[in-house]
């Protein structure tokens, strides 16, 4: 699901599923086994890490803990809950760290990610390649999240290029479609070699 057109001035990358691999089911599974009805909790906690109020910082981790205690009978005290939340559920995407470093030598790179404030600190410590990005735009710092238009427009502003001159790379169809509606060039990420091929075929400077 790619749309490549005019010369590309900047690259805007998603984090989870592009720069790093992840499994959003890991944390709900860690928590559900400490709830009154583990099976029901696991079902209801699906997508917990991506809930808008969490990734935009509208609620604190302490408030999330209290909600889970009240709603699901979570028995973990806050310190153990926090540890379960922060234990990594992501790992490097094969080939992307070196690729990002190489791209940064000639192109502006912007990260556009939906992530909560707490796990974002874990990612920053684990992924040194993030230093090669011109700007890191994360939902927890700015209060907006993909697929909201504001997220994409802020990213193009940070890149210093019009949307039509930016290539947005994400693994989620909904985000790709939202970016295309704003005239971004797009590529739905499946793997690093696929991204290589798209960039090699693009009519872009130095690719």
DSSP secondary structure code for residue 15 in this structure: T
Centre a 10 Å sphere on the Cβ of residue 36 and count the other Cβ atoms it contains.
Answer: 11
Secondary structure percentages of the chain, helix, strand, coil, to 5 = 50, 15, 35
Q: In the beta sheet, which residues pair with residue 41? A: none
Q: Is residue 32 a contact partner of residue 41, using CB atoms and an 8 Å limit?
A: yes
Centre a 10 Å sphere on the Cβ of residue 107 and count the other Cβ atoms it contains.
Answer: 19
Cα 104 to its chain centre, rounded Å, is: 19
Instruction: Please tell me whether the overall predicted TM-score, pTM, comes out greater than 0.75 for this model.
Output: yes
pLDDT in tens, the chain (207 residues): 677 777 899 999 999 999 999 999 999 999 999 999 999 999 999 999 999 999 999 999 999 999 999 999 999 999 999 999 999 999 999 999 999 999 999 899 999 999 999 999 999 999 999 999 999 999 999 999 999 999 999 999 999 999 999 999 999 999 999 999 999 999 999 999 999 999 987 644 444
Which residues have a Cβ under 8 Å from the Cβ of 125 and sit 6 or more positions away? none
């Amino acid at each position: 699901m790619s749309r490549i057109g005019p010369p590309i001035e900047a690259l805007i990358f998603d984090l989870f599923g592009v720069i790093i691999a992840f499994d959003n089911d890991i944390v709900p599974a860690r928590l559900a086994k400490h709830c009154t009805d583990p099976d029901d909790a696991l079902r209801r906690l699906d997508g917990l890490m991506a809930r808008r109020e969490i990734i935009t910082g509208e609620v604190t981790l302490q408030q999330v803990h209290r909600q889970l205690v009240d709603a699901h009978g979570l028995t973990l005290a806050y310190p153990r809950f926090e540890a379960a939340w922060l234990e990594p559920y992501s790992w490097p995407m094969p080939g992307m760290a070196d690729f990002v470093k190489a791209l940064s030598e000639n192109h502006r790179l912007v990260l556009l990610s939906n992530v909560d404030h707490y796990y974002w600190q874990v990612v920053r410590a684990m992924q040194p390649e993030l230093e090669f990005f011109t700007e890191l735009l994360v939902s927890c710092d700015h209060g907006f999240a993909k697929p909201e238009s504001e997220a994409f427009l802020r990213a193009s502003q940070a890149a210093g290029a019009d949307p039509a001159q930016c290539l947005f790379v994400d693994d989620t169809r909904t985000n790709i479609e939202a970016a295309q509606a704003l005239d971004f060039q797009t590529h739905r990420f499946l793997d690093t070699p696929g991204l290589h091929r798209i960039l090699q075929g693009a009519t872009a400077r130095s690719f």
